[in-house]
Structure 1
Amino acid sequence: MRRQQREADFTEFYLARREALRRTAYVIVRDWHTAEDLTQQAMIKLYAAWPRVRDDTADAYARKVVVNECLSHLRRRRDVPVERLPDRATHSQEASVLDVSAALDLLAPRQRAIVALRFLDDLSVLDVAHALSVSEGTVKSQSSKALATLRTHLPQLVLTEEI
């Protein structure tokens, strides 16, 4: 009976949090299919640890596992050499499209993780520091650098919250 309850609790947690966790993963890895795969891998790890996870820390633990999976994936990813580079479209100067996706691609993976956790998941500096196992100062400085990059490439972007 205890195992059935544990599985029911995990299933309820998974169904409630999977979309938010996948969205966070997407901001970090920039691909929906990869984000889905990495979220699933993280959930497998979470399921294995579920008996040790406390109810009050389940969200933070799940978020940390997802972010770690994403960052590990980005470290392992290898670019495959091609014989010929693909053609790239040139953007006209008068087109001022707010392309957040392209601007996020300019950020380092850890900076994307910090932006996702701070501004998408609305976590405090302390919570982001715990999720990424870095100091609060690192979160602040990397947030500042990431926002500066975003402001440079998206001058029309207005951020309502400052660090």
Structure 2
Amino acid sequence: MLHINVPGWKTLRLAHLFLDYNGTLALDGRILPGVAERLEELSRHLDIHVLTADTFGSVREELKVVPCDLPIIPPQGQSTQEQAQAKADHLRAFDPALSAAMGNGRNDALMLREAALGIALLQEEGAAPQTLAAADVVCPSILSALDLLRHPLRLAATLRG
């Protein structure tokens, strides 16, 4: 568990990290450089959950060295709202008050809004405006977002009141 005191905001007690895959951890189905190492380090303190429709069919192979829960959300026949609901339902099953979430897509907005800490990413795929509005923090890369959890004083500096 991570304990992060943010003066003037709240003290975060985080046990879970929920992540979108494509657009967040990966580009075109391939995990971005440096991500696996950071996730492995964070997995010593947090349960990692990667929520994805696995559009490119590569997520299991790409994350084989990362200790994580990997629920696949069926893309066929599901609207963006249904995918968003599936991600939020998964987060709710583990307690949003003890969770951080990261994503960039429209189907990530609800998950970010419900988590104790929501981080939106603005990377190569861009980010949906609803997701940016739902976030507590917006980062330019997944590496900088994961590093906020690895170096909590950075997060406190951003969010303090």
Q: TM-score, normalised by structure 2?
A: 0.29
TM-score by length of 1: 0.29
Relative to its length, the structure with more helix (as a share) is 1
- Identify the structure with the greater strand proportion: 2
